[in-house]
Structure 1
Amino acid sequence: MVHKVLQIHPDDNVLVALTDLNKGEIIQFGNHEITLKSSVSAKHKFTISDLGQDDKVYMYGIIVGKALFPIASGDVITTSNLAHQTAAYTGQRKSFEWNAPDVSKWKNRTFDGYHRPDGQVGTANYWLVVPLVFCENRNIEIMKQAFVEELGFAKPNPYKSFVKQMKQLYLDGDKEGLQQVGVETLELAGEEKLFKNLDGIKFLTHNGGCGGTRQDSEALCALIAGYINNPNVAGATILSLGCQNAQPAILKEKLANINPDFKKPVIILEQQEEGTEPQLLTKAIQSTFLAMTEADQLVREPAPLSQLTIGLECGGSDGFSGISANPSLGQVSDILAGLGGKTILSEFPELCGVEQELINRCTTDENAEKFVKLMRAYSASAEAVGSGFDMNPSPGNIKDGLITDAIKSAGAAKKGGTSPIVDILDYTEIVTKPGLSLLCSPGNDVESTTAMAGSGANIILFTTGLGTPTGNPITPVIKVSSNHKLSKRMSDIIDVDTGGIISGEKTIPEMGDELMEHIIQVASGKIKAKAVLLNQDDFIPWKRGVSL
């Protein structure tokens, strides 16, 4: 049976439109007969009964806003009649019980991964090249030009021939042809890979390492150390200028702190010591090539699903994200927790309003207190520069039904499922405990995915309702659509469609199982995530301090 509306939680006083509804339409809901005062687009919400000024609006069973003035039954809620509001929270945990899902069907399943000397298992095998300071970005780009095409890792660019055709038509004076020419296909064959067991060589650039606070440079070194330590990385080449704040000694210290058993090869070269650019780059290229020949000897072997560390991300969210895609990720998170795997929920500005629920799920008082401390410090820093969590929803979010940050957060938190929270991590801290961890990161998609890969995620699940191409250089990002329309419209970026939950074709547990199967295929290298196919290598370190 196809439903027109949904009450997400029994305590909610608004309904979600699952399809476009017309003004004057009568909605039967329980004992209520609701006449719509205006048309309601799919994904948006309308009131079940009359609300007075300052009355609270509930969704997902929690406070997500307050009425700015009286709102009649059947009226759509918008930014003009609803303001952000959340419930207060304390660091005191309340009673919590977890009904773990049945994971018997997954216990003996494996994925084919790359086993590292320290016991970690990667879902991919990359060599990493990264600068310690922005001064080396140009040298990184030169190395990239030298390596990628010659080793067969470059993705063919059909738009080059497209421009070539347009150039010739212009020279021929064919104005009509210029209007009609197009790219025939994106499915072009590239060069054959030289290294069969390497998924690629990834070149990262950034604008940090010097000029900001010392804390930012330390955080950058910790982030780079996390990337080198990530199980998807075979080893790394690091370029340093020499005089910057982010020193090689700090990077080495961070590596030793996060992994005392670290055994991967790391090549560090300083330009001010090597001399000329040709001397630096010749040495960097030669040593990197030789190291890659060794990394190519590793082959995929079976590993238990407990070796998966999955980041849980959302971006370009819509009014269906918290109903379909995010709960599907929550189902996966609970399954992984039951199997002894690890999951990461980040984006602290998008946990605004659900703090007490998360605090109750913390396994220790120390974790609860750390979460409260990080949340309040983050909120205060945003307010200090004239902003706040309440300003989080983007224009796209609002247009598609996420009217307040609290509504957005209540749905976003569903990615973390219902399992106990075993650890609270500040930015760049590494995931070590089986189960669900919360990682302090911004709500910015790329800064958050960058952070999760740095904390150890070897797969990232990324839900979207509007569509976003975000990927990561070293960790496959599986894009999960909240609705059918998006999956069809942007099929080149969407891997899995959970729109069947909205249409009533599938349940959340069914979608969780479908996602698990897809994860195993991607983790085994049998399916490539769309972001990987598109070479979507997004990397933005979080700069928490000011520039000096």
Structure 2
Amino acid sequence: MSTTSTDHAVIRLHPNDDVVIATRQLLSGARIASEDLVVSGLIPPGHKIATRAIAAGEPVKRYNQIIGVAREAIARGQHVHTHNLSMADFAREHEFGVDRHPTPFVDAPATFMGIRRDDGRVATRNFVGVLTSVNCSATVARAIADHFRRDVHPEALADYPNVDGVIALTHGLGCGIDMQGEGLGILRRTLAGYAVHPNFHAVLFVGLGCETNQIAGVLESSGLKDGERLRSFTIQDSGGTRKTIEHGIALVKDMLADANRVKREPVPASHLIVGLQCGGSDGYSGISANPALGAAVDKLVAHGGTAILSETPEVYGAEHLLTRRAVSREVGEKLLTRIKWWEEYCARNGAAMDNNPSAGNKVGGLTTILEKSLGAVAKGGTTNLVEVYEYAQRIDAKGFVFMDSPGYDPMSATGQVASGANLICFTTGRGSAYGCAPSPSLKLATNTALWERQEEDMDINCGGVIDGSATIDQLGDQIFQMMLDCASGVASKSELHGYGQNEFVPWQVGVVT
């Protein structure tokens, strides 16, 4: 994507585009000298303005890519949005590896202060976790973790300054599902990924006892077993609610001393695995925060690290840009296989891939899923796509990868963390409240108005790209450094607010009976 700012009122993203983007609210009659254009009607900030006459049924381009077709004739200077632009169904040419290029690795990789685990992986946080096999054990798990809440019981962890906390990650699944079905397999893969996540020093696994999702099945499916750092038990075997809570608290107390012995030490940035998310997107997302995060991703990959792009329905319509970067046809075909799965999944459930953008996205200036996707893939930078994974599948490749997931942010990020992400970077234009324990989450604001309104939730303002006070590369440097700092223990805004436990949302597919 080439970005050419035409003046302070609008941004032109490509010479071939049929629209420019308003940097502020424009009133009817305003003149855009650089486009020799007079605005017709009110244009909200972040929204599109036609720069040529567009006939009904004609495709409309942004990023030099088709974002939809005109519902009706659109005159120069008019607002282009949901009232006159609709989803386009058109064939896209999927080329494989034509944009593949050598990665410019740095000679001296950056470092951060991480925590080395016995299996060689590196943690960015040091928690004790309480996981549940089923919704029925959620209350018990919460009670165990709440006993160690620093804001309620500050004395509980007073002797363990190197422990970031005891957290419970509960969910609403685990029973009433096919014992041989895809849904149970995904849930078990997700829970197993959390059970061995490096940001957990130790984990308690609590069940009810009679559920479909037996803890033994979770452990067996992933080759895990009980030990000093993974303990499992059920309410029914423990003698009920009170005894189970007491048992869990006692086990956590036994784990804390060992968890507190960890020390941070300098480790290469190659140990960073960063999940990329965007939520509450707006018309600026694909101009500022997403490409700025993409620039940081390019730096991360050059330092040997890994970045995970996901949200498959939100790359729909832009997947042809990713296949061009695939290291092989096989990798590119894997991505198309996941796209096809989503098309069939939507069809058999009476849904459509173009049910996105959300209401908030549209208020912010995004009109079709094609437009949203083209901006969303900018988070992935420009390096080669080296591998494609299924949801919550363990990620072992270095570089830029893709993990299949829904577009719903908590569900997508849950899969990324299960896959091994030890940091999340989350761009937002409308303002999103989100965290992702046990991995910290950094929030990137796409525009200065959001930053000023919600600064307590945002970690960095990327609005300088819109007003011309900052460049994509400058922000990329800042975001990369912020990744290293956060991975070293500097708390993100979402961590300071206590986000993370309620945002654990495994992906549910299949029939619930």
Instruction: With the length of structure 1 as denominator, give the TM-score of the two structures.
Output: 0.88
Q: Does 1:299 align with 2:267?
A: no
Q: How does 1:325-340 map to 2 (within 5 A)?
A: 325-340=289-304
2:428 and 2:118 mapped to 1: Cα distance?
Answer: 36
Aligned to 1:540: 505
Aligned to 1:198: 163
Query: Structure 1 residues 460 and 190, CA, compared in 2 at 3 Å: closer, same or farther?
Result: farther
SS of the aligned residue for 2:335 comes to helix
Q: How does 1:459-478 map to 2 (within 5 A)?
A: 459-478=423-442
Q: How does 1:397-412 map to 2 (within 5 A)?
A: 397-412=361-376
Aligned to 1:26: 31
1:398 and 1:33 mapped to 2: Cα distance?
Answer: 27
Q: Which has the larger radius of gyration?
A: 1
SS of the aligned residue for 2:79 comes to coil
Aligned to 1:144: 145
Q: Is the 8 A contact 2:445 2:458 kept in 1?
A: yes
Most deviating of 245-254 and 509-518: 245-254
Q: How does 1:57-136 map to 2 (within 5 A)?
A: 57-85=60-88, 87-89=90-92, 92-93=95-96, 95-98=98-101, 100=103, 103=106, 107-136=108-137
Aligned to 1:492: 456
Q: Is the 8 A contact 1:84 1:404 kept in 2?
A: yes
Q: How does 1:49-60 map to 2 (within 5 A)?
A: 49-60=52-63
Aligned to 2:333: 369
Q: Is the 8 A contact 1:430 1:456 kept in 2?
A: yes
**CA apart distance, 1:90:** 5.5
Sequence identity of aligned pairs in percent? 33
**CA apart distance, 1:142:** 2.0
2:94 and 2:375 mapped to 1: Cα distance?
Answer: 22
Count of residues in correspondence between the two structures: 504
The aligned amino acid for 2:509 is: R
The one of 406, 410, 416 aligned to 1:452: 416
Instruction: With the length of structure 2 as denominator, give the TM-score of the two structures.
Output: 0.94
**CA apart distance, 1:433:** 0.4
Q: Is the 8 A contact 2:277 2:424 kept in 1?
A: yes
SS of the aligned residue for 1:463 comes to strand
Q: Does 1:529 align with 2:496?
A: no
SS of the aligned residue for 1:24 comes to coil
The one of 442, 445, 466 aligned to 1:502: 466
Aligned to 2:187: 220
What CA deviation, in whole Å up to 9, does each residue of 1:490-513 have, x standing for no partner?
111001111111111111010000
Q: Is the 8 A contact 1:98 1:418 kept in 2?
A: no
What CA deviation, in whole Å up to 9, does each residue of 1:222-266 have, x standing for no partner?
101111222211110001222222122322234338xx9x98710
Q: Is the 8 A contact 1:212 1:546 kept in 2?
A: yes
Q: Is the 8 A contact 1:130 1:237 kept in 2?
A: yes
SS of the aligned residue for 1:447 comes to helix
Q: Any gaps of 5 or more consecutive residues in structure 1?
A: 157-188
Most deviating of 62-71 and 267-276: 267-276
Query: Structure 1 residues 352 and 254, CA, compared in 2 at 3 Å: closer, same or farther?
Result: same
SS of the aligned residue for 1:422 comes to strand
The one of 443, 458, 461 aligned to 1:479: 443
Q: Is the 8 A contact 1:12 1:59 kept in 2?
A: yes
Query: Structure 1 residues 368 and 111, CA, compared in 2 at 3 Å: closer, same or farther?
Result: same
Q: Does 1:234 align with 2:201?
A: yes
1:497 and 1:429 mapped to 2: Cα distance?
Answer: 32
The one of 6, 11, 21 aligned to 1:6: 11
SS of the aligned residue for 1:478 comes to strand
Q: How does 1:378-397 map to 2 (within 5 A)?
A: 378-397=342-361
SS of the aligned residue for 2:421 comes to coil
1:493 and 1:111 mapped to 2: Cα distance?
Answer: 24
Q: Is the 8 A contact 1:86 1:406 kept in 2?
A: no
1:278 and 1:468 mapped to 2: Cα distance?
Answer: 37
Q: Is the 8 A contact 1:5 1:15 kept in 2?
A: yes
Q: Is the 8 A contact 1:89 1:355 kept in 2?
A: no
The one of 298, 323, 329 aligned to 1:359: 323
2:246 and 2:408 mapped to 1: Cα distance?
Answer: 37
CA root-mean-square deviation: 2.1
The aligned amino acid for 1:306 is: S
Q: Is the 8 A contact 1:111 1:520 kept in 2?
A: yes
1:26 and 1:275 mapped to 2: Cα distance?
Answer: 75
1:309 and 1:67 mapped to 2: Cα distance?
Answer: 41
What CA deviation, in whole Å up to 9, does each residue of 1:467-499 have, x standing for no partner?
111111201000000111111111110011111
Aligned to 2:407: 443
Q: Any gaps of 5 or more consecutive residues in structure 2?
A: none
Query: Structure 1 residues 263 and 64, CA, compared in 2 at 3 Å: closer, same or farther?
Result: farther
Query: Structure 1 residues 301 and 94, CA, compared in 2 at 3 Å: closer, same or farther?
Result: closer
1:155 and 1:450 mapped to 2: Cα distance?
Answer: 27
2:238 and 2:328 mapped to 1: Cα distance?
Answer: 50
The aligned amino acid for 2:219 is: K
Query: Structure 1 residues 428 and 419, CA, compared in 2 at 3 Å: closer, same or farther?
Result: same
